[in-house]
Amino acid sequence: MTLDRIELALLYLPYVHFFETSLQREEGRHEFNFDDSCDGTFVYIGPGQTGALAFRLRWQGPQDVDLYVREPNGEVIYYGNTPSSTGGELDVDANSGCYEVAPDPTENIFWPEGMAPAGTYQFWADLWSACDGSETPAVTLYVIRAGVIDQTINTSISGGQTATYDYQYP
């Protein structure tokens, strides 16, 4: 069953009060739970833990794109510095080194419940290598707070990285 078919099935089941399904993907098992407040639709934004706070990067293609997050204390979390001193951790790193290209590339940095420091975070994406793909890929950056998408930024990489964005927590 494809993700598109799951979305269509859920759109036509508005009378369901609780529905649970799972989807087997190459990177592992993903479960989706819906309750009475759900309108029957969902957006799959890739694998990774969410915890108290998470920053997620998605794109399509073979490129090795890296997610960077600067914590309020100035420490930067990325593939070369994880976990951080506050517990922030990169737990998904797709297309690393241009090996094993993922079908839905994702990078994810998260803080477990109760560990995300208060203050201003900065985040951006950097093109480590085009890996025979475009040097200006379109990317989507998400900020996820307590499991809910709080901010979505659709942009592209230009000159090797995206703009730097700020996020205030809490």
Asked if residue 148 has pLDDT above 50, the reply is yes
| Secondary-structure percent of the chain, ordered helix, strand, coil, rounded to 5 | 5, 45, 45
75-80, Cβ contacts within 8 angstroms, sequence gap of 24 or more: 77/109, 78/126
DSSP letter at 138? Answer: E
Stated pTM of the model? 0.78
pLDDT tens for residues 122-145?
999 999 999 999 999 999 999 999
pLDDT band at 116 (very low <50, low <70, confident <90, very high): very high
pLDDT tens for residues 22-69?
444 555 555 555 566 667 666 678 899 999 999 999 999 999 999 999
Mean pLDDT score, 85-92: 98
Closest CA to 42 of 31, 50, 53: 31
Mean pLDDT score, 140-156: 97
Per-residue model confidence (pLDDT) at position 46: 86
Strand partners, 149: 144
Q: What percent of the chain has pLDDT over 70?
A: 75
pLDDT band at 168 (very low <50, low <70, confident <90, very high): very high
Q: Rounded mean pLDDT of the chain? A: 85
Task: Tell me whether residue 46 is exposed, middle or buried, using C-beta atoms within 10 angstroms of its C-beta: 0 to 12, 13 to 18, 19 or more.
Answer: buried
Per-residue model confidence (pLDDT) at position 27: 52
**Are the C-beta atoms of residues 31 and 22 closer than 8 Å to each other?**
yes
Pairing outcome for strands 64-70 and 106-111? unpaired
